[in-house]
């Protein structure tokens, strides 16, 4: 095989070869101290609400003041609701004081309590238009999308058993805890949200979902609310899910990471995990991780047709079953990127997608 020049995603040198992908994933650091005070002109209070799956808990942010605002809401469980209500009441406010909800993206662990809040107060809900369907579509419509997406993952060479284990839990959560909203308002890149003395600017950061956004303060303090685009304690999975929208997947996620670097935040408050006090170092480490994995994919691909799952096993033979699934999704993203660069080609045959170097 002809040796090809190594392709880089970022300009950051990659880590030493030989590191295992499983070792790069950041260790969990829970629980958070509550509330946290941010270096803004107004206090911002963090409430950590429990979930029913391993990514636990989720952070929601309450900004009191002239326009009391909640960033994300948590999963619609009684325990999460009780913790949110008691947390807000503990700082002298109540649920009915919330005048605005900003959703960083449309996943159920971030939007679930919207409906319950709206039962108490007629508040404004803001979301990116690309994620509107995630909060307004009927539950069976969303389940149908997830089932179609599961078949896409089987086509990558994953076993139906492993794929069903992954999606079965999500579908159960959707049917149990999702309630569609009747409507919402849209926010997009460059929009400024006035909280009354504090301005938040919307930054489109697609990848985790097509409509994922971040919010950076307009006061020059460099504080970024990242949703699930940048997280601490767990690696974001920039995976194709629900739809085939162009804003979802590995390469949009990488581009959005570079965009965050360009914003030069001083502090990141994520959707999960502790505040990130070294944003540049954290994001550069994430990009370096992707550089390393991309190089391994490129170096392991030859002229023989292979599925993403089999290529993952070739690169990481120690990863098996459901533990390899998320890595397979990322490897598929790199293979698609190589196709776009003209360095690989793909075919769909016999229910499987395969790739080879060109």
Q: Shortest CA distance to 35 belongs to which of 24, 26, 44?
A: 44
Over its C-alpha atoms, the chain yields an Rg (Å, rounded) of 21
3-state secondary structure of 230: coil
Ordered mean pLDDT values, 10 residues apiece, the chain (358 residues):
33 30 28 42 82 80 93 95 96 96 95 95 95 93 87 90 84 89 94 88 93 89 92 66 59 92 94 92 92 94 96 89 77 91 95 97
Cα→Cα distances 6→14, 57, 218, 330, 354, Å: 11, 39, 39, 18, 21
Please tell me what DSSP assigns to residue 322.
G
Q: What is the DSSP string of 91-130?
A: TT--GGG--EEE-SS--HHHHTTHHHHHHH---EEEE-GG
CA–CA separation, 226 vs 214, rounded Å?
A: 5
Instruction: Please say whether the beta carbons of 67 and 100 come within 8 A.
Output: yes
Give the pLDDT confidence score for residue 205 in this predicted structure: 95
Going by C-beta distance under 8 Å and a sequence separation of 6 or more, which residues neighbour residue 6?
295, 298, 299
- Domains contained in the chain, CATH given: 1-26+278-358 (1.10.10.10), 30-137+180-273 (3.60.15.10)
CA–CA separation, 235 vs 168, rounded Å?
A: 22
Burial-class residue 141 by CB neighbours within 10 Å (0-12, 13-18, 19+).
exposed
Give the pLDDT confidence score for residue 42 in this predicted structure: 53
* Helix (H), strand (E) at residue 19: none
Give the pLDDT confidence score for residue 15 in this predicted structure: 30
CA–CA separation, 352 vs 314, rounded Å?
A: 17
Helix axes 325-340, 308-315, angle to 10 degrees: 110
Give the pLDDT confidence score for residue 41 in this predicted structure: 43
The alpha carbon of residue 16 and the mean position of all alpha carbons in its chain are separated, in whole angstroms, by 27
Q: What pTM did the predictor assign?
A: 0.85
Point out which residues pair with 45 in neighbouring strands. 62
Give the pLDDT confidence score for residue 25 in this predicted structure: 28
Region class of 104: left (phi > 0), else alpha (psi between -120 and 50), else beta = alpha
3-state secondary structure of 252: helix
């Amino acid at each position: 095989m002809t040796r090809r020049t190594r392709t880089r995603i970022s300009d950051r040198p990659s880590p030493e070869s030989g590191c295992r992908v499983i070792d790069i994933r950041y260790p969990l650091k829970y629980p958070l101290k509550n509330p946290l005070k941010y270096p803004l002109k107004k206090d911002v209070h963090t409430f950590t609400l429990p979930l029913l799956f391993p990514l636990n808990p989720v952070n929601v942010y309450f900004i009191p003041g002239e326009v009391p605002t909640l960033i994300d809401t948590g999963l619609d469980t009684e325990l999460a609701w009780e913790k949110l209500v008691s947390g807000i009441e503990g700082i002298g406010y109540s649920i009915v004081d919330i005048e605005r909800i900003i959703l960083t993206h449309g996943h159920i662990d971030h939007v679930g309590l919207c409906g319950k809040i709206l039962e108490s107060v007629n508040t404004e809900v803001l979301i990116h238009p690309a994620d509107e369907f995630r909060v307004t579509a009927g539950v069976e419509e969303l389940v149908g999308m997830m089932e179609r997406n599961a078949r896409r993952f089987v086509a990558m060479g994953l076993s139906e058993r492993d794929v069903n284990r992954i999606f079965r839990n999500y579908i159960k959560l959707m049917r149990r805890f999702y309630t569609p909203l009747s409507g919402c308002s849209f926010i997009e890149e460059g929009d400024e949200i006035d909280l009354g003395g504090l301005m938040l600017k919307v930054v489109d950061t697609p990848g985790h979902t097509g409509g994922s956004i971040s919010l950076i303060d307009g006061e020059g303090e460099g504080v970024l609310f990242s949703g699930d685009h940048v997280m601490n304690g767990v690696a974001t999975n920039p995976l194709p899910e629900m739809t085939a929208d162009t804003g979802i997947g590995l390469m949009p996620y990488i581009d959005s990471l570079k965009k965050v670097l360009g914003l030069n935040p001083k502090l990141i408050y994520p959707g999960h995990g502790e505040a990130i006090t070294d944003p540049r170092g954290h994001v550069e480490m994430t990009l370096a991780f992707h550089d390393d994995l991309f190089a391994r994919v490129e170096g392991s691909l030859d002229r023989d047709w292979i599925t993403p799952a089999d290529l993952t096993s070739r690169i990481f033979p120690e990863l098996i079953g459901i533990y390899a699934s998320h890595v397979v999704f990322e490897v598929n993203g790199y293979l698609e990127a190589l196709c776009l660069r003209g360095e690989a080609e793909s075919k769909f045959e016999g229910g499987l997608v395969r790739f080879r170097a060109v």
